[in-house]
């Protein structure tokens, strides 16, 4: 199987501000730490995979505004292959991120170029057919994800979908093409209309997704770790590696990408989960989404400690 990963998805300029707490309606409060950083779920996952040593194509779109150069440079400097990515007229995607003390965030997305797709280019189609795995998220139109998944499935390329980026239901046609679907607990609850407060509830909801045609379900549970239901029904759980949390933005992207990298390396499912948890622990210890994605050596150090 080819060892290249294709990540199709969004790239955003993340506009950060840090606050002690969220403002009430009609209230004005002071903030600090205003900064523009590269992000977007697709680009974050592509950079995470590349920094972990995985040859990675990014298939996405930036605009023709002042953010575009910064976004391209950020991807390219992590050695992500941009030969099939493209610029389109109009603004790049933006994410307005309000970061509270303790690392919790609230995010508002303005889609821009991420929502301005006019089909999947020939270059992207060729890339999808030639890789070992296709990784998707939900910050581009569902029609684009579905088309990409169909191209991949026809070429027997496994498709993995991180459910982050949109809250609506997923079409059956897409679910049935997924090797792995990875929601967090909120996304799992919305996708299934089931509660996800206890471990038993998470398990029941994940099983409900699997019954809809997904082969494996990987649930990211934040501080509670992660749960994987494998194709053979085996259930695995993984705790977190304790660390001082600075910013949780991008941690889910990091977890999914690291899991995919380990899976492409042919590691056992337990090892994939552990590798992903170690990578995410580095990510939450630093500011920013894309800038906080770990290098391989940082993850290896945690795994041997
Ligand atoms: O998952 C984190 C990402 O969500 C941020 O980088 C932001 O761009 C939003 O897409």
| 209 domain residue, yes or no | yes
Q: Which run of H or of E encompasses 105? A: strand 105-110
- Judge if the beta carbon of residue 250 lies within 6 A of ligand 1: yes
Q: Which atom of ligand 1 is nearest to the CA of 290?
A: 6
| 161 domain residue, yes or no | yes
Average pLDDT over residues 220-249: 95
Distances (CA, A) of 254 to 50, 171, 295, 296: 11, 25, 11, 12
DSSP 3-state assignment of 207? helix
Q: Confidence class of residue 2 from pLDDT cuts 50, 70 and 90?
A: low
Q: Confidence class of residue 305 from pLDDT cuts 50, 70 and 90?
A: confident
| 126 domain residue, yes or no | yes
- Judge if the beta carbon of residue 138 lies within 6 A of ligand 1: no
Other CB atoms within a 10 A radius of the CB of residue 49 amount to 29
Q: Is the pLDDT of residue 1 over 80?
A: no
Other CB atoms within a 10 A radius of the CB of residue 121 amount to 15
65 included as an active-site residue:
no
pTM of the model: 0.97
- Judge if the beta carbon of residue 139 lies within 6 A of ligand 1: yes
Percent composition of the chain: helix, strand, coil (DSSP 3-state, to 5): 40, 25, 40
Closest CA to 162 of 144, 178, 146, 143: 178
Q: Confidence class of residue 290 from pLDDT cuts 50, 70 and 90?
A: very high
Residues with Cβ within 8 Å of residue 104, at least 6 apart in sequence: 248
Q: Tens digits of per-residue pLDDT, 252-284?
A: 999 999 999 999 999 999 999 999 999 999 999
Cα(251) to centroid(ligand 1), Å: 10
248 lies in which domain range?
A: 5-10+40-85+115-304
Q: Tens digits of per-residue pLDDT, 114-170?
A: 999 999 999 999 999 999 999 999 999 999 999 999 999 999 999 999 999 998 999
pLDDT at 35: 97
Nearest residue by C-alpha to atom 8 in ligand 1? 40
Cα(153) to centroid(ligand 1), Å: 27
Q: What percentage of the chain exceeds 90 in pLDDT?
A: 97
| 27 domain residue, yes or no | no
| 18 domain residue, yes or no | no
- Judge if the beta carbon of residue 40 lies within 6 A of ligand 1: yes
Beta strand 12-19 pairing with 226-229: unpaired
| 153 domain residue, yes or no | yes
CA–CA separation, 76 vs 62, rounded Å?
Answer: 13
Q: Confidence class of residue 225 from pLDDT cuts 50, 70 and 90?
A: very high
- Judge if the beta carbon of residue 272 lies within 6 A of ligand 1: no
CA–CA separation, 164 vs 137, rounded Å?
Answer: 6
Which CATH number does the domain housing residue 216 bear?
A: 3.40.1190.20
Q: Do 127 and 84 contact (CB within 8 A), yes or no?
A: yes
Q: Do 116 and 88 contact (CB within 8 A), yes or no?
A: yes
Q: Can you read off the two tokens belonging to residue 172?
A: 């059956």
Burial of 103 (0-12, 13-18, 19+ CB in 10 A): middle
| 93 domain residue, yes or no | no
Q: Is the pLDDT of residue 101 over 90?
A: no
Q: Do 227 and 236 contact (CB within 8 A), yes or no?
A: yes
| 137 domain residue, yes or no | yes
Name the domain count of the chain. Answer: 1
């Amino acid at each position: 199987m080819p060892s290249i990963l294709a990540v199709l998805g969004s790239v955003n300029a993340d506009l950060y501000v840090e606050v002690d707490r969220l403002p009430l309606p009609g209230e004005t409060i002071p903030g600090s730490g205003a900064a523009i950083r590269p992000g977007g779920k697709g680009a974050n996952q592509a950079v995470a995979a590349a920094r972990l040593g995985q040859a990675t194509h990014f298939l996405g779109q930036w605009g023709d505004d002042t953010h575009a150069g910064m976004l391209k440079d950020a991807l390219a400097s992590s050695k992500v292959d941009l030969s099939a990515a493209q610029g389109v007229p109009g603004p790049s995607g933006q994410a307005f991120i309000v970061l509270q003390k303790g690392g919790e965030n609230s995010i508002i997305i303005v889609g821009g170029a991420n929502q301005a797709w006019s089909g999947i280019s020939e270059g992207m189609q060729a890339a999808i057919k030639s890789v070992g795995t296709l990784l998707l998220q939900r910050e581009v139109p569902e029609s684009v994800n579905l088309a990409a998944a169909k191209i991949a499935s026809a070429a027997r390329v496994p498709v993995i979908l991180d459910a982050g980026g949109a809250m609506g239901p997923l079409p059956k046609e897409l679910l049935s093409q997924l090797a792995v679907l990875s929601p967090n607990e909120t996304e799992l609850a919305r996708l299934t209309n089931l509660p996800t407060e206890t471990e038993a509830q998470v398990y029941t909801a994940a099983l409900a997704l699997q019954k809809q045609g997904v082969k494996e379900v990987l649930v990211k549970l934040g501080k509670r770790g992660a749960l994987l239901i494998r194709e053979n029904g085996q259930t695995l759980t993984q705790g977190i590696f304790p660390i001082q949390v600075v910013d949780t933005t991008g941690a889910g992207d990091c977890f999914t990408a690291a899991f995919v990298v380990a899976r492409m390396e042919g590691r056992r499912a337990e090892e994939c989960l552990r590798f992903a948890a170690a990578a995410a622990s580095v990510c939450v210890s630093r500011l920013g989404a894309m800038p906080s994605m770990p290098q391989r050596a940082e993850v290896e150090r945690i795994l041997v400690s």
